[in-house]
Amino acid sequence: MNENIRSYLEIEKLLQPSICAFELQHRLLLDGVCFPGDIPSKTTVNDFLHKDLKMTKKKIQQVPLESIVGPN
């Protein structure tokens, strides 16, 4: 996996934390980052995201303000 693909995957995951490996593969093709023969496997994408970038599968959620501020 080259540096362009790595950078693209990192940016896409940061922009949309709930995106999965299959969707990332599809986006690599649609955006012209790599050719069909050069697409990394789902395992490679997941390993890169989890081991190299330390990103989890959990979605980023907003915390209601009431739970931060506490009772009146």
The answer to whether residue 58 scores a pLDDT higher than 90 is no
- Residue-number span of the structural domain to which 17 is assigned: 3-69
Q: Is the pLDDT confidence value at 72 over 70? A: no
Average pLDDT over the chain, rounded to an integer? 84
The one-letter amino acid at 8: Y
Mean pLDDT of 35-64: 80
- Residue 61 to residues 2, 18, 22, 26, 51, Cα–Cα distance (Å): 31, 10, 22, 25, 22
Count of domains in the chain?
1
Query: What CATH number did the domain enclosing 57 receive?
Result: 1.10.10
